[in-house]
Amino acid sequence: MNLVVLMRMVPDVVEELEIAPDGKSLDQEALRLIVSESDDHALEEALLLKERYGGRVTVVAPEAPEVADVLYTAAAKGADRVIQLRGVEPGLGVAAMAEACAAALSAIPDLLPADLVLTGAQSIEDLDGLVAPLVAHRLGWPYLGVVTAVSEVSNGTATVIKEFQAGYRGEFQVSLPAVLGVQAAEKPPRYVPVAKVRAAMKATRIEEFEAPQPVPEPLQDVTIVALAKPEATGRAEMLEGSVEEVAGKLCELLAERGLL
């Protein structure tokens, strides 16, 4: 199978997020980027599919700080080809980036036709859309999201499992090529030891590809009014004291409501 994985960097929320002085964006200084969690699952699913059906995995990622590490790691895990897309930067909002990526996929030499484009079901900054359906729309391919497994790939179709709710899942038949938004791979993303990543750094060349012009402006269809941090204290009334005291107070509360 020819599998393409789209990966992108998003702010790491382990670090403090600061709002820039203009009030309309994040302070880039304080920001540290990390690969979007479900994109990592998309890569894992692609690697599992390659192991099962053979073929090759190509990872494409818009340029961003530390994205090279992500690409080398992908290579160390088993990706055959890694491409950094210049001229497109991830950031708040996703529509413009997804459009540029879709255009690039068609323009990158020897990439299409592919059987599947896989990417995360969602990232934490997808303000104006989701990558997978946007790319599917641009390529004119079918789309399915919240995917947790792919199987029975044959005769131009694949069986795709997606998560509904309350423990229900759905089994879909999807004709290929298609774009999938992966929620969780069949297995958690694999660990790759640092030594292998280092070896990949030596053995792998990250291909640089200039995104086809014109690259659309980010957030071109929306106006950001303001960013704000939600009140940290929130609505909750905080109970204080030692663990035993708090337990006592909670007991009172529950008793008052007839819950005991």
Partner 1 sequence: MTDPAAGAFLGLPARAILWVLALIAFGLFGWRVAAYIRVLARARPEPRWDQWPARLKRFVLEVLFQRKLLEEPLIGAAHLLIFWAFVFYATSFFWNLLRGLLPFLPIPYADQAAWMAVALELFGAVGLVALVVAAARRYLFPPPRLEQTRDAGIILSLITIVLLSSLTGAGALVLAGEHHAGVGIASLFAGLLSGLGVSPEQGVQLNVAMWWVHMVTVLGFLVYIPYSKHLHLLASPFGVLFGSLKPPMPAASEGAARLEEFTWRQLFSGLACAECGRCDRACPALNSGYPLSPKELMHHVKEMIMASLASGGNGHRLLGDRVKPEAVWACMTCLACIQRCPVGNEHVPVLIELRRRLMADGEIEAHLQEALTNLARYGNSFGQSARNRARWTQGLDFKPKDARKEPVTWLWFTGDYAAYDPRLQPITRAAARLFQRAGLDFGILYEAEQNSGNDARRAGEEGLFETLMEKNLAAFAKARFERIVTTDPHSLHALKNEYQWQNGGVPVVHHTELLWELIRTNRLPLNKRLNGRVTYHDPCYLGRYNGVYEAPRQILRALGVELVEMPRHGSRSYCCGAGGGRIWMEDVPGIQERPAESRVREAAAVGAGTLVVACPKDWVMFQDARKTAGLEDKLVVKDIIELVEEATNP
Partner 2 sequence: MAGNIWVVADQWQGRLTDITFEALALGREVADAFKVPLEAVLLGHGCASLAEELGCADNVIYAEHPALAEPVPETHARALAELAQQRQPRAIVIPATNTNWGANTLLAAQLGVPGLNFVVDLKAVDGALEARCVLYGGKIQVRVQPRKEPAVIGLWPGARPADQGRSERKPSVEQAPVSLAAEPKVRLKRYIEPEAGEVDLTRQDILVAVGRGIQSKDNLELAEELARALGGEICGSRPVVDQGWLPLSRQIGKSGLTVKPKLYLALGISGAPEHVEGMKGSSLIVAVNTDPQAPIFNIAHYGVVADALELAPALAEAVRARKG
Ligand X SMILES: Cc1cc2nc3c(=O)[nH]c(=O)nc-3n(C[C@H](O)[C@H](O)[C@H](O)COP(=O)(O)OP(=O)(O)OC[C@H]3O[C@@H](n4cnc5c(N)ncnc54)[C@H](O)[C@@H]3O)c2cc1C
Site residues (vs ligand X, CB under 6 A):
121-122, 146, 183
Q: How far is the CB of 146 from ligand X (least distance, A)?
A: 6
- Please, what is the minimum distance in Å from the beta carbon of residue 123 to ligand X? 9
Element housing 121 (H / E)? none
- Answer for which of 154, 155, 195, 243 binds partner 1 (CB under 8 A) is 195
Looking at 90-98, 148-156, 167-175, 193-201, which segment touches partner 1 (CB under 8 A)? 193-201
| Residue with smaller CB distance to ligand X, 59 or 146 | 146
Task: Output 17 or 68, the one with its CB closest to partner 2.
Answer: 17
Phi then psi for residue 41, to 5 deg, are -70, -35
Placement of tokens 């994109």 in the chain: 39
Q: For 26, list phi and psi in degrees, rounded to 5.
A: -85, 145
14 lines the binding site for partner 1 (CB under 8 A): yes
Which C-beta is closer to ligand X: that of 79 or that of 98?
A: 98
- Residue closer to partner 2 by CB (options 203, 255) is 255
ω before 133 within 30° of 0 (cis)?
Answer: no
**CA atoms lying within 13 Å on the CB side of residue 235:** 0
With contacts defined by CB under 8 A, name the span among 51-59, 107-115, 206-214, 230-238 that binds partner 2: 230-238
> Closest Cα to residue 70, out of 51, 56, 57, 83?
83
- d(CA 45, CA 51) in angstroms, rounded, equals 10
Residues 6+ apart with CB under 8 A from 44: 77, 185, 186, 187, 188, 189, 190
For residue 95, the partner it binds in partner 2, partner 1, ligand X, none, with Cβ less than 5 to 8 A by kind, is partner 2
Nearer to ligand X (CB atom), residue 58 or residue 183: 183
Q: How many CB atoms lie within 10 A of CB 197?
A: 17
With contacts defined by CB under 8 A, name the span among 58-66, 75-83, 112-120, 141-149 that binds partner 2. Answer: 141-149
Binding site for partner 1 (CB under 8 A): 14-16, 34, 188, 190-198
